[in-house]
Amino acid sequence: MKPELEDLRCDDCAFREGTQANSQQSTVMKAQLCAEIPEEFHCHRREGLCAGWAALANKLNREGYHAQQPEWQRKLKQELVDIINKAERGNIGEISHEIMLAIDRVDPRG
């Protein structure tokens, strides 16, 4: 990430290693998926888009990732973001907890 883009990230950015937001697997996964779709991902500390998300989404776009991504992959990623959002809000009953546990078992950072 370019230094000037790093400077725009909040102190607790999901894209800043070691932060609380970065330690929450569901947040990191949702942020990564939103950058890949691309779908807006908002900062949880201030108004507007997450600067870390913007930097990654712009990088992926420059590299042609968005243009080359098959539509079915984009749709699947959108479904995953929707499931994460529902799970975070607790809107899907008993399986909400199971989905969050599954997300925590998978680290999108590799």
pLDDT tens, position by position, 27-56: 999 999 999 999 999 998 889 999 999 999
Cα–Cα distance for residue pair 43/92, rounded to 1 Å: 25
Place 100 in a pLDDT band, splitting at 50, 70 and 90.
Answer: low
Place 109 in a pLDDT band, splitting at 50, 70 and 90.
Answer: low
Strand partners, 42: 49
Q: Count of alpha carbons within 13 Å of 22, Cβ hemisphere only?
A: 14
Strand ranges, E, within 30-80 = none
As a whole number, the mean pLDDT across the chain is 83
